[in-house]
Amino acid sequence: MAATTTLGFVLPTGLSRRRGGFRVSLIRCSASPLTNSTASGLVEKPWDSYNARLVLEDGSIWPAKSFGAPGTRVAELVFNTSLTGYQEILTDPSYAGQFVLMTNPQIGNTGVNLDDEESEQCFLAGLVIRSLSISTSNWRCTKTLADYLTERNLMGVYDLDTRAITRRLREEGSLNGVLSTEQTKTDEELLQMSRSWDIVGIDLISDVSCKSPYEWVDKTDPEWDFNSNSRDGETYRVIAYDFGIKHNILRRLSSYGCQITVVPSTFPASEALKMNPDGILFSNGPGDPSAVPYAVETVKELLGKAPVYGICMGHQLLGQALGGKTFKMKFGHHGGNHPVRNNRTGQVEISAQNHNYAVDPASLPGGVEVTHVNLNDGSCAGLSYPAMNVMSLQYHPEASPGPHDSDNAFKGFIELMKRSKQSS
Ligand SMILES: NC(=O)CC[C@H](N)C(=O)O
């Protein structure tokens, strides 16, 4: 069944995916060791031993070294192609229910700091990397990545062949898996765990949303604000629905002159309207947009009552509220290097992305315009419905991490609110 490559990787052959199972038995895959201790006669230190496993639902087993919390977790594995910004990725609530594999081969070299948190907590299930930096060097650093993960009870593993795993995800599509440091659990048990779990159909936003409304006032630190021109000093009252909101969305809105009240995902539309908002934001968030019909209902109730702006999950909920459908992509978009074309201007932006679902443009009713297209695969990356003052983006204009090309979208929302105010 298995073939060995010239690099020494064991590749299973004859993989064939069926929904709900694979026709393969367990196959142990390994990266070539970073140091060849047996050949040199050196003995590995105890903390350098392969004390963890990643078992994927296709039957592959990836021995790994643990550098975070111990335990056993099941989740969907996705790969992220960002070169920098692992702390923002770790604190992006949209990764709840997922393991994030970084394709950048070395992670941890800048440690973590007090400024780069995108939420109060890490909601992802674990971090998978090739090599953990042996040193940490950055003027803002307050602790190492390993200490941070351990304190947050988050699993982290390294020394796996992340390139081979990424190729597998690209070919097979997203895979569920189990990370475990528990030696008492057999490979078969972990495989069963990975096969009996599914992220589709689960409401993950209610776990990550705030529990009660609060005011947000922080702006982007002026030293970091690269796009502070052309603001007119006007203020706009914005209600931000928190489906797992990233702080930088709030900082950018605040820097553009918004006074923001953040509300939980279950906040009634009628209460939001009583606050007389100039605009409503529907945030990013984890999981399957079809699993949260209550959120789609809230969006429907608010459509046409105030200008609305959807980001990522917010965009997908808007797509559904407008009558369209969402679907699960093969392996999604996760990274800071996605080219997007603005159909109105013809301009191309390099964008930060993190999503596994997308809106099917063919399912949208007339009058809804696809404003942005992902140039890697032609998928829908933005919508507008001018009749109801709706705009949305499938990707992340707030970056964090990633390029800032799309920041002007916040200005677009301000202009939408301004026009609506002037015409009322
Ligand atoms: N960042 C997000 O809002 C992600 C939206 C949704 N959970 C998806 O994976 O497509």
Cα of 287 to ligand 1 centre, how many Å?
A: 6
Q: How far apart are CA 332 and CA 418, in angstroms?
A: 34
What one-character DSSP code corresponds to residue 322? T
For residue 311, report the distance from its CA to the centre of ligand 1, in Å: 9
Q: Which residues contact 110 (CB under 8 A, 6 or more apart)?
A: 84, 136, 137, 138, 140, 141
Pairwise CA distance, residues 335 & 104, whole Å:
11
Cite the active site residues: 312, 396, 398
User: Taking the model in full, what pTM does it have?
Assistant: 0.91
Within 157-312, residue ranges assigned H as helices are 162-172, 187-195, 205-208, 247-255, 269-274, 293-302
Taking the C-alpha atoms of residue 382 and residue 342, their distance in angstroms, rounded to an integer, is 8
C-beta 287 within 6 A of ligand 1: yes
pLDDT on residue 29 = 85
Domain annotation for the chain: domains and CATH numbers: 2-195 (3.50.30.20), 205-423 (3.40.50.880)
Complex ipTM value: 0.98
Looking up tokens 């920098």 gives: 84
88, 98, 312, 374, best to mutate for ligand 1 pocket (most atoms within 8 Å of CB): 312
Question: Ligand 1 centroid vs 151 CA: distance in angstroms?
Answer: 26
CA distance 88 to 152: 15
Give pLDDT < 50 ranges for the chain: 1-23, 33-38
Residue 44 is predicted with a pLDDT of 52
Cβ–ligand 1 distance for 324 under 6 Å, the answer: no
Q: What's the CA gap between 236 and 59, in Å, rounded? A: 53
| pLDDT score of 40 | 59
Among 245, 235, 217, 219, smallest CA distance to 310 is for: 245
